[in-house]
Amino acid sequence: MKPESHHSTAYPRIYAVVAAIPRGKVATYGQVAELAGLPGRARQVGYAMHALDADTPIPWHRVVNARGEISPRTAGPEAGTLQRQLLETEGVRFGVGGRIQLDRYRWNPAT
DNA sequence: CCACTGACGAGTG
DNA sequence: GCACTCGCCAGTG
């Protein structure tokens, strides 16, 4: 074993959870964090998403914020527009205000 | 080491 | 429901 591995490698765990979100469903950053064994660290999930390559197989677009919205990027609206497009292609409907009804589309891993 | 930032979120008013 | 504060912590300068 490597005794020096204390500086977290949480990204793989986060990506594993995101990869498990079914098509047409969404999960919140906080939900992903909790499922990855990192309760209260929703922010790190966002950080992990930001670190993904453009051609990643990870379905990053299925992760939205706790209000059911696509989180605004500092970099610009481009990624957000793509995210919404990808979700709509999977059948996820957006209401006025760019809101998704979480009670309807949220992924429930228990089922 | 310190200050600041940021794909977040619960709590408060 | 909105605006704000505070906690969270990796990355950057």
CB of A46 lies under 7 Å from some atom of strand B: yes
Three-state secondary structure call for residue A4: coil
Rounded-to-integer distance, Cα A61 and Cα A18, Å: 9
Å separating the CA of residue A51 from the C1' of nucleotide C12: 14
In angstroms, the CA A64 to CA A27 distance is 6
- Return the pLDDT at A108: 95
Residue A101 Cβ under 7 A from any strand C atom:
no
Q: Which residue is nearest to nucleotide C8 (CA to C1')?
A: A41
pTM of the model: 0.92
Task: Give the model's pLDDT for residue A28.
Answer: 98
Residue A30 φ/ψ region, left for φ over 0, alpha for ψ in the -120 to 50 degree band, beta for the rest: alpha
Q: Which parts of chain A have pLDDT scores under 50?
A: 2-6
Beta bridge partners, A106, equal A26
Whose CA is nearest the C1' atom of nucleotide B8? A43
Bridge partners of residue A64, in order along the sequence? A28
